[in-house]
Chains A and B, each alone.
Chain A
Amino acid sequence: MTTDHIRQHCLSLSQKTWSHLNNQESASLNFSGEQMSYVRLNNSKVRQSTDVTMATARLVVYCDRRTHYFNWDLSFNIDQDLKTAQTFIEVARAERPQLEVNPEATDFESNPEHMSVDSDFTAPGLAPLLEFLSSQKLDLAGLLASGKFWRSSFNSKGQTQWFESASSFLDYSIYTTGPTGEPKALKNAYFAKHWDQSAFELQVQQTKNQLEYFTKPNQTIKPGNYRAYLSPFAVAEILGTMSWGAFSYAFYKKGLSPLGRLANGEAKFSNKLNMRENFDLNLTPRFNSRGEIAAKHLDLICKGELKNYLISSNSAQEYKVTSNLAEPSFEAPRSLEVLPGELLEQNILTELDTGLYLGNLHYCNWSDRPSARITGMTRFGCFWVEKGKIQAPIADFRFDVSLYQIFGPEGLLALTQKQELIPHLDTYHMRATGGLATPGALIKEFACVL
């Protein structure tokens, strides 16, 4: 089945579905799906491979400030899928009288049409890829994902939006053994619309060469505060945790926002810090699940001050404010950019002088939301630096640090001039869209606690 066929099926299903609505009802139908080939690798060999063709429909039926949500996997049989949609509409109609008014329910509008189909791509050849890894004698673990994916939003008011793209990535880590037998690793990812085997091989070889850093024994970091450089990938982990409620207006109104003290003027970030939604990153469509098209740019933090929370139409309805067309289901950034600073890449180690170079962080979570404190672990590619020179890899440690320490006026010393574009490589349910762009950050105090 081609994606053209799937697109036509979705278009046809949505048109036929609207004819089953009565005059008081409106509805939206969103489709998301993928035709993806996944190959899981361990020790540079195939552990499991799974090809997936899946398409999920989300029908939202609205009437009289009541809403029902229905999600199902398309059968690609138009009669069967239409019957499912029809059944769901009947369920909503039958049950509606028993529901109270939903304070966040809002009717649909017809937003401007969007049609973006860019599914031309070059997939990697699995055989040459595996042969190359085998020839390098690498202990590599990772995931190769390659294929087409789509997101769309139609509604009974006439809205038609379709985003379709295709690309491949190999998200991987390469392992070696330190001098005392401890496993050490570096992480990287090759992401391409048109797979370039030579470029991929070069990146893998460069990563492999950096394993030389692990020839020295681990340095153990004692609990305390350390000057630290967070690479863009480490900053991305912090930003990922911030996606769990930090920018959500609904969280703020419930008193659960980790940025509540910033919003209320009780705490400050450095004026070096600027964050915004920037859909020019081209990692995800601008339309949300209601089909609303967000502005290309929306300032979230300007010179350290909270400029905007992300406000969905549902929150706007419930709290009587103006929506900035955030995604209703989570009010988190979809295309976050941290604006760059002035620290040149070649000066990172000299400006760090003595402290921690942190390549990646792991398993971050809020440890205390009111004080915006995050705990997590160091992971791949973390080193102890003295007088601007890498001395040794470190034994992984646990940190527990407030965003007001990391990004505060005294804590944030510099942001790098170079940003890294980091696409979301999550594959829960299906491949994620979106991502972020961020520089690295030089921090005055990073707290090791265990």
Chain B
Amino acid sequence: MDLSITSLPKLPNRFDPALTLQSLGSKYEWVGLRFIQESSQTLIAEDGQMRAPTMDLSRGVQIEVRAGGQIAYASTSDLSPASIEATAQQAFKKAQLQQQHGIELSSVTRPAHKGTYSTHKVRGLDTLSRNQIMDVARQASSQMKNNPLISKAMGMVRYTHRLQHWVTSDGADITQEFDLWASDFNCIATQGSQVERRSFSGGQALCYQGGSEILDLPWILEKCKQNQSQAIELLSAPNCPSKVTDLVLAPDQMLLQIHESIGHPLELDRILGDERNYAGWSFVQPKDFGTLQYGSKLLNVVFDPTAPTGFATYAFDDEGLPATREYLIKDGLLLRPLGGAESQFRSGLPGVANSRTSSWSRAPIDRMANIDVLPGNSTFDQIISNVEDGIYMISNRSWSIDDYRNKFQFGCEYAREIKNGKLGQVYKSPNYRGECLNFWRALEQVGDASTFERYGSPYCGKGEPSQIIRVSHASPTCHFKNIEIFGGA
């Protein structure tokens, strides 16, 4: 039996937030109702054979109630009228309790827009079956396993459909539907006690919105072939040397570099201190916007929720702000933080539409979405040819940064020496470390559009209570001067 991915799982009766709101609207100063339904299918093959398929179905409602200038949230997956009524009352009582000791908010933090969004799909999903997806996972893992030095190969594809519908008592009505793909293809090469792992662009970095065009099997198989040969190369490669040198980063490592050392420090809720007890604060101060030279003149960074295939592309954030592309850093100068309507009100700074919630059970907070470094003018060959002595690192495998988002250390899966403008020796266990502003100010060359690639992650963790959300980062290949690199032991 061949099951279509769009017909599974069979969902319970559709919930109508607008109708439900009618029964609540008149009882409160302001009430918002956020319905979120997310269904995922995860299909994993190891060494050409399917493992246990997984389906997830999350479905619930979050009710926001404003009382005396304070907003409180209550959430439930029980969508019966009595439960909705009780949940709204819970939120109302909490909002009342907060009035003496809550951070001041404003009614402008929930603009009453109407609109819709759905993922841009080049090809539809109606004819795509679970069997076809399983075959992608099977073939990808078989392709990588097809060598005696490969001890394990894995292919994983997850498709998620997310529907969210937000209505408020003052007329906001926003429906957004997302078709989301996250994939991972990796293999382990073993020779004696030597073990090396190589993945396709780092763990689950292939994260996109789109239709069935996302599953481009010939391209995936070609990349898996490369994975296999590079994993085997690493078995006989020496450790990355320790020195200060020029560093060229591939877009699939720029993913993490952007995320940790631009995305998080610019989140306005961090700058305002909300996150201090958990993920941390930020070295960026409110006065830095418009004045701080964050990177070299070559650094241009945008918040772009309009990128067609971005994992975090949307039309409105979860406070109802219309999402538009904005420069965060232009010619190296810091311009704008990542803060939604509440954070903008609290700080008096401009921001972006980035207040997002991971699920119906969590309140929206400032999150990254698609944060991209814009292309420059150098081809890949030009970048390499301009490096006398350096290293080229690909695909993230380790990451750590301090709670102010300053001192970082990253490890990659694979590296090549750069000598006299040419790629040379393969190195295993390449790592580098640095401090945020010094690093971005050392940006020496930026790749052109031919080097520009988009990746993402399903797993950005933040918040109290904690939330995991989807992010996306696109970047060209980038060259940095005088960076400390080192290898394994």
User: Which of A42-50, A151-159, A338-346 is found at the contact surface with chain B?
Assistant: A42-50
Known A-B contacts A67-B52, A145-B465; A51 and B73 likewise in contact (beta carbons under 8 Å): yes
Closest CB in chain B relative to A84 CB, distance in Å: 7
Q: Once the chains bind, are A256 and B195 in contact (CB under 8 Å)?
A: yes
Question: Is A375 part of the contact surface with B, judged by Cβ < 8 Å?
Answer: yes
Question: Is A220 part of the contact surface with B, judged by Cβ < 8 Å?
Answer: no
Q: Once the chains bind, are B53 and A95 in contact (CB under 8 Å)?
A: yes
Q: Once the chains bind, are B398 and A363 in contact (CB under 8 Å)?
A: no
Q: Once the chains bind, are B433 and A398 in contact (CB under 8 Å)?
A: yes
User: Which of A69-77, A305-313, A351-359, A385-393 is found at the contact surface with chain B?
Assistant: A69-77
Q: Which of A51, A99, A254, A397 sits near B74, CB closer than 8 Å? A: A51
B53 contact set on A, CB distance < 8 A: 68-69, 95, 99
A141 contact set on B, CB distance < 8 A: 273-274, 276-277
- Of residues 62 to 115 in B, which have CB atoms within 8 Å of A's CB atoms? 70, 72-80, 83, 87, 90-91, 94-95, 97-98, 100-103
Known A-B contacts A141-B273, A376-B400, A427-B465; A400 and B409 likewise in contact (beta carbons under 8 Å): yes
How many chain A residues touch B (CB < 8 A): the figure is: 95
Q: Once the chains bind, are A53 and B76 in contact (CB under 8 Å)?
A: yes
B433 contact set on A, CB distance < 8 A: 398, 449-450
Closest CB in chain B relative to A257 CB, distance in Å: 10
Question: Is A216 part of the contact surface with B, judged by Cβ < 8 Å?
Answer: no
Complex Cα–Cα for A244 and B34 (A): 35
Q: Which of B8, B74, B78 sits near A91, CB closer than 8 Å? A: B8
Q: Once the chains bind, are B9 and A94 in contact (CB under 8 Å)?
A: no
B8 contact set on A, CB distance < 8 A: 91
A145 contact set on B, CB distance < 8 A: 465
State the main secondary structure of chain B at its contact with A.
Answer: mixed
Considering the complex, give the chain A residue whose CB is closest to the CB of B272.
A42
B122 contact set on A, CB distance < 8 A: none
Q: Which of B50, B57, B72, B363 sits near A102, CB closer than 8 Å? A: B50
Q: Once the chains bind, are A72 and B75 in contact (CB under 8 Å)?
A: no
Question: Is A52 part of the contact surface with B, judged by Cβ < 8 Å?
Answer: yes
Complex Cα–Cα for A126 and B100 (A): 11
Considering the complex, give the chain A residue whose CB is closest to the CB of B408.
A398
Closest CB in chain B relative to A388 CB, distance in Å: 28
Q: Which of A47, A172, A365, A396 sits near B399, CB closer than 8 Å? A: A365
- Of residues 193 to 215 in B, which have CB atoms within 8 Å of A's CB atoms? 193, 195, 197
Known A-B contacts A49-B73, A75-B79; A98 and B131 likewise in contact (beta carbons under 8 Å): yes
A52 contact set on B, CB distance < 8 A: 74-76, 361, 465
Known A-B contacts A49-B94, A363-B400; A54 and B76 likewise in contact (beta carbons under 8 Å): yes
The A-B contact count (CB < 8 A) is 261
A172 contact set on B, CB distance < 8 A: 277
Q: Once the chains bind, are B468 and A256 in contact (CB under 8 Å)?
A: no
Complex Cα–Cα for A102 and B54 (A): 13
Question: Is A179 part of the contact surface with B, judged by Cβ < 8 Å?
Answer: no
Closest CB in chain A relative to B133 CB, distance in Å: 12
- Of residues 247 to 294 in A, which have CB atoms within 8 Å of B's CB atoms? 254-256, 264
Q: What are 29 A-to-B residue pairs whose CB atoms are below 8 Å?
A: A42-B103, A42-B272, A49-B73, A49-B98, A50-B73, A51-B94, A52-B465, A54-B75, A68-B54, A74-B77, A88-B9, A91-B3, A91-B9, A94-B1, A94-B3, A95-B3, A131-B100, A183-B281, A254-B188, A256-B188, A365-B398, A367-B411, A368-B398, A368-B431, A370-B195, A371-B489, A431-B465, A450-B433, A450-B435
Further 13 A-B residue pairs, CB within 8 A, beyond A45-B101, A73-B77, A127-B100: A52-B361, A70-B9, A75-B12, A75-B59, A77-B78, A255-B188, A256-B197, A363-B403, A365-B399, A368-B489, A370-B195, A377-B403, A398-B400
Task: Give the 6 A-B CB pairs with smallest separation, nearest first.
Answer: A255-B195, A427-B465, A143-B464, A100-B49, A130-B101, A72-B57
Question: Which residues of B pack against A, CB within 8 Å?
Answer: 1, 3, 8-10, 12-13, 49-60, 70, 72-80, 83, 87, 90-91, 94-95, 97-98, 100-103, 130-131, 134, 151-152, 188, 190, 193, 195, 197, 272-274, 276-278, 280-281, 361-363, 365, 398-404, 407, 409, 411, 429, 431, 433-435, 461, 464-468, 484, 488-489
